[in-house]
Amino acid sequence: MRLPPTTALISIAALAPEVRALAVPPAQAPLPKRDNLDQIVLPGFPHPNPTVSYWQDPPHRIANLRTTPELPTTDVFDYVIVGSGISGAAVAFKLLSRDPNLSILMLEARTAAGAASGRNGGHCKPGDWKEVKDWVELYGEDEALRIGKMEQDCVDDVRNFVKTHNVSSGWQDVETADVYWTKEAFDEAVEIKKFQDELQQRRPNDGPWSNKRTVYAGQAARDYWKWPQILGAVAYTSHTQNPYLTVCALLEQGLEKGLNLQTTTIALSIDQVSNSSEAGAKWEVKTDRGTVQGKQVVLATNSYTNALHAGLASTGFLVPQRNQVAAVHPSKDTSNNTVFRRSHSYPDLHSGNNYIAIRAPGDIGAGDVIVGGSTKFSPTRERNITDDSVINQDIADDLHGVGRVVFGYENWGETTKVVKDWTGIICNTPDGFPVVGGLPNEEGLWASACMNGHGMAWAFRSAEALVQMMAEGETPTWFPKAFDINRAWNYTAEE
Ligand SMILES: Cc1cc2nc3c(=O)[nH]c(=O)nc-3n(C[C@H](O)[C@H](O)[C@H](O)COP(=O)(O)OP(=O)(O)OC[C@H]3O[C@@H](n4cnc5c(N)ncnc54)[C@H](O)[C@@H]3O)c2cc1C
Ligand SMILES: *[C@@H]1O[C@H](CO)[C@@H](O)[C@H](O)[C@H]1NC(C)=O
Ligand SMILES: *[C@@H]1O[C@H](CO)[C@@H](O)[C@H](O)[C@H]1NC(C)=O
Ligand SMILES: *[C@@H]1O[C@H](CO)[C@@H](O)[C@H](O)[C@H]1NC(C)=O
Ligand SMILES: *[C@@H]1O[C@H](CO)[C@@H](O)[C@H](O)[C@H]1NC(C)=O
Ligand SMILES: *[C@@H]1O[C@H](CO)[C@@H](O)[C@H](O)[C@H]1NC(C)=O
Ligand SMILES: *[C@@H]1O[C@H](CO)[C@@H](O)[C@H](O)[C@H]1NC(C)=O
């Protein structure tokens, strides 16, 4: 694992900085020609022609990068990582930060960060902490605190990465609110806040306490948030960003350290090498451009993991789901209206489970309102769909109307301009947690996948834990046991 990269590998880190800069192609380089693109619509694999998200326009300068023009099929890499989303990017970055001598190849079916990480709702939000009561019941207090702390630490780590590297991804620290429209839901939120307060008193050193939660009830909520119809809100610190630009910056950090990225290259199958060569190849990954070899392989394939691993697929534990987002613009000028400026919210409106982020003054598209959710307007709830080349019009219709209802005609104006609609695929597990770790009985095959629509708050720390497992052979004590990939095989679907 600590061998220097093989000489045949053209590593851009080995080049002088001025040459290295040239290795990155200019913005909007044309897609590499691939005659068979239309045929590669394999069930369960990333669709080759996805909708373009708000964040991906214009494409990043590494969007179509192939570090080496040819797929390096003769080298044996220390790691082959499949997937260039935040999971794969973070694993590469963290591995190379520990040991710059590692040789790492990353395969990406689409353009860089072209799946969920480049097409989400733009929140980096420690919002799952409100599930703490359930976690205590299911896993005990220590584990519940570990999960909550990990979420907050993960969000803080992403923020720290963006700040340390001066990433221009429109990162904003914002006051967020979980907003309630029904008395039952708000009463429950207040109960949970009490539960958290009691836990904090008893365990002052163990939880995500750096982020204070504030309850606004009834008229106080309406006065503070100025939303006419709400019954209450729980506010805390969160963040909005262009996730695509953050993840491309993370990939660029890896590239500077020698990562070989091969975009528009689909991994089709992964097989153990029975007659390991002198160079130590243990795994072969077959792609549409040839077969590559690695000592270890990392699945950072989120909602597409089942397609590459029949054993995991057979557990039924990982279930893809299509999610949809709209960028809309109110007809009134909102630039000086604090109702919009303070926002970034999660209104529990008509049970649409909507999440809203607003482009800040100074951002490209300032005042655009990014709305996600409304999955319930699909009879199938969009479950088990991996085609994000189309949008669902019923969901779009609802998303376009949510902002005006939330903020009111007075603030919003009477019409709404639709800037963009797009879809993306998330991956859900029955318990709501990702799968992280080594695949059982397959030495050198690892995964950090299935982020349950919450990857901006989970993937970075999951990658950190996985890197420690791979490099040191042990799981860090701060990492939730609830994320262990082995549990997938303990699962039996309810009839
Ligand atoms: C519409 C939408 C809104 C969301 N909103 C939010 C939000 O506001 N906040 C939040 O925290 N999370 C949100 N999420 C979830 C979040 O985007 C994901 O959890 C996160 O991006 C997962 O990162 P990842 O790297 O694990 O997976 P992905 O970003 O999906 O990356 C996996 C990569 O693997 C590649 N890949 C897969 N199979 C293969 C193969 N066989 N060969 C080669 N490459 C392959 C894919 O093309 C993809 O690029 C949202 C997701 C969607 C879709
Ligand atoms: C990397 O390789 C060089 C040259 O072989 C060696 O001197 C150095 O110690 C290695 N670094 C690490 C972190 O292994
Ligand atoms: C980031 O910006 C600050 C202030 O402009 C500067 O001091 C620092 O060196 C920059 N860091 C990097 C990594 O570019
Ligand atoms: C393993 O053996 C097969 C069949 O003999 C051969 O085709 C293949 O190239 C070998 N692989 C390695 C890595 O030596
Ligand atoms: C918003 O406020 C700024 C500064 O006070 C002012 O210059 C600008 O004209 C205002 N814009 C609108 C649309 O009222
Ligand atoms: C999910 O979709 C796949 C491929 O279309 C299909 O084979 C499978 O049966 C579906 N599973 C469920 C639970 O609907
Ligand atoms: C799976 O189930 C077995 C038997 O009940 C148990 O010992 C093991 O801890 C479980 N593994 C996980 C990861 O939950």
**For residue 38, pLDDT beyond 70:** no
Closest CA to 388 of 470, 328, 447, 320: 320
| Residue 228 pLDDT level (bands cut at 50, 70, 90) | confident
Atom 4 (ligand 6): residue with closest C-alpha?
Answer: 43
**Residue 188: DSSP 8-state:** H
201 within 8 A of 207, measured Cβ to Cβ:
no
Atom 1 (ligand 3): residue with closest C-alpha?
Answer: 166
Q: Which ligand 3 atom is nearest residue 166's CA?
A: 1
Rg of the chain on CA atoms, in Å: 22
What does the pLDDT read at residue 86?
98
| Nearest ligand for residue 293 CA | 4
In which residue ranges of the chain is CATH 3.50.50.60 found? 5-119+244-318+431-490
Per-residue pLDDT tens digits for 401-423:
988 888 889 999 999 999 999 99
| Nearest ligand for residue 341 CA | 5
Atom 9 (ligand 5): residue with closest C-alpha?
Answer: 336
Q: Which ligand 6 atom is nearest residue 320's CA?
A: 1
- CATH class, range 172-237+320-426: alpha beta
Write the CATH number of the domain with boundaries 5-119+244-318+431-490: 3.50.50.60
C-alpha of residue 209 to centroid of ligand 1, in Å: 28
What does the pLDDT read at residue 13?
27
Ligand 6 pocket at CB < 6 A: 43, 384
Atom 9 (ligand 2): residue with closest C-alpha?
Answer: 101
Backbone angles phi, psi at 435, to 5 degrees: -115, 120
* Mutational test site, ligand 7, from 436, 481, 490, 491, max ligand atoms within 8 Å of CB: 490
Ligand 3 pocket at CB < 6 A: 165-166
Q: Across residues 127-136, what is the average pLDDT? A: 96
| Nearest ligand for residue 125 CA | 1
Atom 8 (ligand 2): residue with closest C-alpha?
Answer: 101
| The amino acid at 118 | G
Tokens of 12: 């851009």
**For residue 239, pLDDT beyond 80:** yes
Q: Which ligand 2 atom is nearest residue 2's CA?
A: 14
CA 366/CA 385 separation, integer angstroms: 32
Mean pLDDT of the chain: 89
Enumerate the β-bridge partners of residue 347. 179
Name the maximum alpha-carbon separation found in the chain: 72
C-alpha of residue 431 to centroid of ligand 6, in Å: 20
Per-residue pLDDT tens digits for 176-202:
988 888 899 899 999 999 999 999 999
Per-residue pLDDT tens digits for 304-352:
999 999 999 999 999 999 999 999 999 999 888 888 876 555 555 555 6
- CA distances from residue 446 to 26, 97, 358, 455 in whole angstroms, order as listed: 34, 19, 37, 18
Dihedral over alpha carbons 150, 152, 155, 161 (to 10 degrees): -80
C-alpha of residue 345 to centroid of ligand 5, in Å: 24
Q: Which ligand 6 atom is nearest residue 44's CA?
A: 4
DSSP character string of 284-322 = EEEETTEEEEEEEEEE--GGGHHHH-HHHHHHT--EEEE
**For residue 19, pLDDT beyond 50:** no
What does the pLDDT read at residue 413?
95
First to last CA, the chain: 45
CA 144/CA 480 separation, integer angstroms: 8
- The structure's pTM equals 0.91
Atom 11 (ligand 7): residue with closest C-alpha?
Answer: 487
Atom 9 (ligand 1): residue with closest C-alpha?
Answer: 123
* Mutational test site, ligand 1, from 54, 93, 117, 125, max ligand atoms within 8 Å of CB: 117
Q: Which ligand 7 atom is nearest residue 490's CA?
A: 1
Atom 6 (ligand 7): residue with closest C-alpha?
Answer: 490
CA 377/CA 235 separation, integer angstroms: 27
Ligand 4 pocket at CB < 6 A: 273, 275, 277, 281
Closest CA to 467 of 2, 6, 75, 97: 97
Per-residue pLDDT tens digits for 246-301:
999 999 999 999 999 999 999 999 999 987 677 789 999 999 999 999 999 999 99
Atom 11 (ligand 4): residue with closest C-alpha?
Answer: 275
C-alpha of residue 489 to centroid of ligand 7, in Å: 9
Closest CA to 119 of 245, 215, 232, 1: 245
Atom 7 (ligand 5): residue with closest C-alpha?
Answer: 336
Cβ neighbourhood burial of 98 (10 Å; 0-12, 13-18, 19+): middle
Q: Which residue has the higher pLDDT, 384 or 33?
A: 384
Ligand 5 pocket at CB < 6 A: 333, 335-336
